[in-house]
Amino acid sequence: MTNRSPWLGLAVLALPALLVSIDVFVLLLALPRIGADLHASSTEQLWILDVYGFLLSGSMITMGTLGDRIGRRRMLLIGAAAFGAASVAAAYSGGPVMLIAARAVLGIAGATLAPSALALISGLFPDPRRRGLAIGVWMVCFMSGAIIGPVVGGLLLQHFWWGSAFLLGVPPMILLLVLGPILLPEQRHPGAGRFDLPSVGLSLAAILPAVYGVKELARDGWRPVPLLALAAGLAFGAVFVRRQRTLADPLLDLRLFGDRGLSAALAAMSVGTMMTGAMMVFVTQHLQLVDGLSPRAAGLWILPAAVASALSFQVAPLLARRVRPGRLIAGGLLVSALGALCVPFVPAGAGPLPLVAAFVVSNLGMGPTVTLATGIVLGAAPPERAGAAGALNEVSGEFGYALGIALLGSLGTAVYRAVVDLPPGLPAAASGARDTVTAAADAAAVLPPATAEAVLHAARAAATTGLHVVAVVCAAALAALAVAAGRLLRHLPPLGGEASLGGEPSLGGEAPAADEDGGRNTTAAKAR
């Protein structure tokens, strides 16, 4: 492999991340047209959106571990082929059921991409300093999908039919299938034992109901069915953990969590994503429902925050060469907390600029947590478990985001209902205005102008108060997380520091990666 080959391999891995991210955002814009053309009910439209995330989250641990056993490059290429084929099937779906099935396959195939890509990046870049930069580049490509997704989606849907949103992901998958075998080395664990199918079933039985329960709680509040689903997921999760402790070759090696750096990094990733993800949802809703922006205009106002994240992803690994990762992560979380703490000072009717500015600051501080925590997780895992570690990293972010929306969404709704001060004498048809600002907007449409204006003013003021309370909670949680991360990760040296080449496994104790024929990566051995 030439000196340039690792970076060419990273380019092959990064392009699908960019296009898959764009595909997600384009689908959000295409959903109204899909619903109209396929005559999909509201429930079917929800499944078109959600089934992908359900199966993506549920399958990641299985696919990451399977990649460790059969080869990460092979797993990546199988997933790319399945993703491309399912994208074509989705584009030409003749009805909602076919589209839901295609989206389900897309979720399973998508679960192979991130864990395999992160594991391959870990092998391509055994030096912690270069690996940190590579992870930052990969993250920037994924984040760039959020930046250009609304623009690309608008152009596609303006000139083509809704199926073009799915075909967008096909060319990069073809490119990956052609260049992957040339530029990506095969990596696998040659001594892997038996693949435990009951553990796969238990992991799905634990994750799928839990994800469903959390998403439904975020959408509809505290109802019995989502709570039962969440409880069932936790029960199956307990059985899964008990089984892993008894197996010689577990699907998920629980000993990974014995590494203090890995556990702290996963916690930081999960809680950080929980807070900032929920803030993003509240900010975008505020821009539309309080400031009155269209969805596309709100998406454009969010772009500076996405750019700030991308910049932070690239700068953090460079700073980590001189500053300890624990200090950087803690400092970044404090910056995010400061950004969240600025939100309560933005009054209703102030316009989008001050709110977006606070959100930009909050996003700017998350770069060290995302990139350095990912590097810590990958560096802490032994090479034969790199795929499983990559899966854990991704699942922690997925769960954090969903849980944050559920918990903080419920908090925001409760605050709204407690403080909304609607004018007296509203008809029964407008009673929903006491529940959410969206319902208040719907109610105002059928009220006399003066009453409608009073209802909207009260609803927007209450929604702003809810945003302020959520922002304060986020700021407090991020500040507490900063203190915890600084303490738990203080033992880690700067990237490439002396200690990272010796005893500490969490960042730079880089065990040589197993290659396809059971040998050891010589570059990694020299780095050690």
Residues 243-277 pLDDT 10s:
988 887 787 778 778 778 888 888 888 888 888 88
Helix/strand/coil for 214? helix
> Mean pLDDT in the chain?
80
Tell me the mean pLDDT in the region 174-200.
80
pTM of the model: 0.76
3-state secondary structure 219-284: HHCCCHHHHHHHHHHHHHHHHHHHHHHHCCCCCCCHHHHHCHHHHHHHHHHHHHHHHHHHHHHHHH
* 146 has pLDDT over 80: no
SS (H, E, C) 132-192: HHHHHHHHHHHHHHHHHHHHHHHHHHHHCCCCHHHHCCHHHHHHHHHHHHHHCCCECCCCC
Question: Using CB atoms within 10 A of its CB, is residue 254 exposed (0-12), middle (13-18) or buried (19+)?
Answer: exposed
**How many other C-beta atoms are found inside a 10 Å radius of the C-beta of residue 401?**
21
Looking up tokens 């509040």 gives: 221
pLDDT over 80 (residue 85): yes
- Confidence check: pLDDT of 508 > 50: no
Distance of alpha carbon 481 from the chain centroid: 19
311: left (phi over 0), alpha (psi -120 to 50) or beta: alpha
Q: What value does the mean pLDDT take over residues 140-147?
A: 73
DSSP 3-state of 118? helix
Is residue 12 a contact partner of residue 183, using CB atoms and an 8 Å limit? yes
User: Tokens for 253?
Assistant: 């090696």
pLDDT tens digits for 92-130?
A: 988 888 998 998 898 888 888 888 888 888 888 888 788
Hey, what are 395's tokens? 């699942």
| Least confident window among 42-46, 92-96, 122-126, 318-322 | 42-46
To 5 degrees, how large is the angle CA 30–CA 36–CA 40? 95
Residue 3 has pLDDT above 70, yes or no: no
